[in-house]
Chain A
């Protein structure tokens, strides 16, 4: 009788245990030895697969090597984003509303400064200009005081939108001042003169910049 060597027995057991699943897989289906590396044999037929299920073999997020800053929830930032979005939505709506009296102001302005203009034309223009100014500064408030998001680099059409604010912002301060001087001169029966004569041109540039700012974030150029 042959007496088995314990070392040989252990190795045999290990050998058998290691190769058993491998060899059975081969016998089950010869295609299973072809992994992704054997894709040269492409087929146009679609394969179906079983739905994912949870088991210990599945990779986890920890396996992906993501930085904690990329995976951790930040409710404070979310609150900041929510507040920012809320304020910018108001900014957007008020901006659209502001465009209506602004267009009307420009339209009535053409008739408000002429020789034959009536007092009512000037008052109508003044009223529309005042409403435009109030709405404009309310609109600007919601953009200026919307929370900034740290680490954000400004890209895209918003840069044009912001740059145009440097034109229509000072324009919206200057236009009513010049308008008030012009209104005063006209009320005294004088011809609009001096710096006040720039009121119309400044207003048109301001309205143009405002319109362009509105379009810059509305339409894709």
Chain B
């Protein structure tokens, strides 16, 4: 009797022991910043973001990091200038932290509070809309961070004595994969 009970218990308990908090891994990403100048509209793109999400008690904490120097605008001179003005050698990473409810995937849009560390400064962006779409086993998240240079105390770089606009929206497209 006891042996059967034990076997039954083990059969029930095994999946329970295997049950861990869900983790998310950033599979692919495209981050694009946009800079406006009276003579130029330029964009810098990076595909080198790394990210991880850890879910616990119904909440998922996400961390995304991207090397500043990985952004490519198609102009090496501009990229080096960007690296200099944002002090990218001193602060080589842009990090984004956010927390989403574990059931966020049931919505097409989630408003997320983002904490972004960049150029030695930390800025909070409240209620940033993220679009979510399920693609097979993965999740695709897109959105735009309404970043500005002044948020990170960056002096606007200038070309021909004309400074760029303060607004530098960062568009992102990310594909996340669940890991158990």
Which residues from chain A sit less than 8 Å from chain B, CB to CB? 5, 7-8, 11-12, 14-15, 18-19, 21-22, 25, 31-32, 34-53, 55, 57-61, 63-66, 70-78, 80-82, 84-85, 88, 92-93, 96, 149, 152-158, 161, 217-220
Contacts and interface: CB of A to CB of B under 8 A. Distances in A.
Contacts of A80: 89
In the A-B complex, the 3 residue pairs with the smallest Cβ-Cβ separation, listed nearest first, are: A36-B105, A156-B75, A77-B89
Interface residues of B, number: 85
Contacts of A41: 106
Contacts, number: 222
Contacts of A93: 161
A155 B75 contact: yes
B81 A85 contact: yes
Interface in B120-168: 124, 126-127, 129, 132-134, 137, 139, 159-161
B13 to A, nearest CB: 5
Which of A18, A72, A76 has the largest count of B CB atoms less than 10 A from its CB? A18
Interface of B: 2, 5-6, 9-10, 12-13, 16-17, 19, 21-22, 24, 39-42, 50-59, 61-63, 65, 67, 72-81, 83-85, 87-93, 95, 97-113, 115, 124, 126-127, 129, 132-134, 137, 139, 159-161, 176, 178
A11 B178 CA distance: 30
Contact of A219 (B6, B39, B42, B56): B39
